[in-house]
Amino acid sequence: MSNAVLHVADVHKSFGGLRALSDIDLQVMEGTTHAIIGPNGAGKSTLLNVCIGRIAPDTGAVVFDGQVITGKRPHEINQMGVVRVFQTPEIFPDLTLLQNVMVPAFAKRDGSFRLNALQLTSRQSAIREEAEHWLEDVGLYKQRETLAASLSRGDKRRLELAMGLVQHPRLLLLDEPTAGMSRHDTNATIDLLKKFKERGMTKVIIEHDMHVVFSLADRVTVLAQGRIIADGKPDEVRGNPVVQEAYLGGAH
C-alpha cells in the first residue's frame, strides 16, 4: 500500500466560463478503495471522465502506473487496465447478457483489434465460462440468454459491473454503482466490491450514498465547486467542519 497507482497531477478544466475542476491533485494508493464525494455539480464525474480520456484537461496530467495517460485514446487506457463503470448504464442493449460480458472478456484476451472472423464463438468455452462466472456473481446468471435492453436500471448497473470485473482491471472507476438499486441489491453490491478489496483491486468510487462510502472506502476525498476541500480517512472527513458545511450539512 505504498505506491500510487493513479496520480491526478494539478488538473484544471473549464467549460466556457465555468471552472469544473481546479487545482486537483490526487493520489490513489495501490489496493485501496478511494471514495470521491461532494454535492451535485462538484466535478466528480468530470474528474472520472478526465481519468478515462473522455475529457481532456486544460492543464495538468493523469499518471497511471508511472505512465501519463492524458491524451491517450479511450481504448488504449482501457487496455492498460483502467476500467470504468458509468453512471447511466452503458451496455449493449441488442446483445444478450452473456454476450455483453463476453465482449469485454474478448477485449482483455485479444487486445483492441483481432480479425478472428473464421473462429466460432460457440467454441470459445474459456471466455464463455468466465463471463458466466461473473454473471453468477452479480446475480444475473439465470437471465443470461435474454437481451440486455429488457433489464431494469438496477440490473443494467449490475450487468455493467460484471462487464467491468471480467476484465480484471488494475484500477476500477465506479460512478455511483448503487444508484437506482434497492437496499438489498446495494448491500449485495457492497459485499461483492469488498471481495475485490481483499484481492487487492484498486478502486475509485463516486457515491452519494454515505452508507456505501463508509462501508467501502479507505480514503475519502471531498470535492466542492471543482476543488478538493478535504482528503483523509473516512472518520476524519466525517468530522471535518468544512465538509459538514459544504456537503453533509447542505442538501443531506
Partner 1 sequence: MAMLRNDLVLLAVFALVVLAMPLWLGPIGAAYPDLMQKIAIYGIFAIGFNILFGMTGYLSFGHAAFLGVGSYAAVWSFKLLTMSVIPAVIFAVVIAGIFAAAIGFISLRRSGIYFSILTLAFAQMSYNLAYSVLTPITNGETGLQLALDDPRVLDRALSTGGPGIPAPSLFGEQLVGLSGFYFCAVLLILCFFLAMRIDRSPFGMMLKAIKSNQTRMAYTGFNTKPYTLAAFIISGMYAGLAGGLLAATDPLAGAERMQWTASGEVVLMTILGGVGTLVGPVVGAGVIKYFENIFSAFHEAKLHEAFSFMPDGLENFFVAITAPFVGEGWHLTLGIVFMLIVIFLPGGLMEGVRRLRTAFTRKPAAREETGKFAPAE
Per DSSP, the residues of 108-152 read HHH-S----TTS-GGG-HHHHHHHHHHHHHTT-GGGTTSBGGGS-
122 binding partner 1? (CB under 8 A): yes
Among 75, 183, 195, 233, indicate the residue that binds partner 1 (CB under 8 A). Answer: 75
The least CB distance from residue 182 to partner 1, in Å, is: 10
The least CB distance from residue 140 to partner 1, in Å, is: 12
Residue 239, C-beta contacts closer than 8 angstroms, at least 6 positions apart: none
51 binding partner 1? (CB under 8 A): no
User: For 209, which DSSP code?
Assistant: -
121 binding partner 1? (CB under 8 A): yes
Total of chain residues touching partner 1, rule CB under 8 A: 50
141 binding partner 1? (CB under 8 A): no
Residues in the chain: 252
The least CB distance from residue 52 to partner 1, in Å, is: 7
Residue 95, C-beta contacts closer than 8 angstroms, at least 6 positions apart: 103, 147, 148
By C-beta, is 90 or 245 nearer to partner 1?
90
Q: Which stretch binds partner 1 (CB under 8 A): 32-40, 60-68, 110-118, 189-197?
A: 110-118
User: For 88, which DSSP code?
Assistant: S
Cell digits of residue 172: 476500477
241 binding partner 1? (CB under 8 A): no
Q: Which stretch binds partner 1 (CB under 8 A): 62-70, 114-122, 228-236, 242-250?
A: 114-122
Among 106, 141, 196, 214, indicate the residue that binds partner 1 (CB under 8 A). Answer: 106
By C-beta, is 111 or 249 nearer to partner 1?
111
Binding to partner 1 (CB under 8 A) within 165-204 occurs at 167, 180
By C-beta, is 166 or 205 nearer to partner 1?
166
Question: Positive or negative, the Cα torsion across 84, 49, 176, 90?
Answer: negative
Vertex 103: Cα angle to 195 and 83 (nearest 5):
45
147 binding partner 1? (CB under 8 A): yes
* Residues 127 and 102 sit within 8 Å (Cβ to Cβ): yes
Q: How many Å apart are CA 14 and CA 20, to the nearest integer?
A: 5
Element (DSSP H or E) covering residue 238: helix 234-239
Question: Which residues are at the interface with partner 1 (CB under 8 A)?
Answer: 52, 54, 73-75, 78-79, 84, 86, 90-95, 98-99, 102-104, 106-108, 110-122, 124, 128, 143, 145-147, 150-154, 163, 167, 180
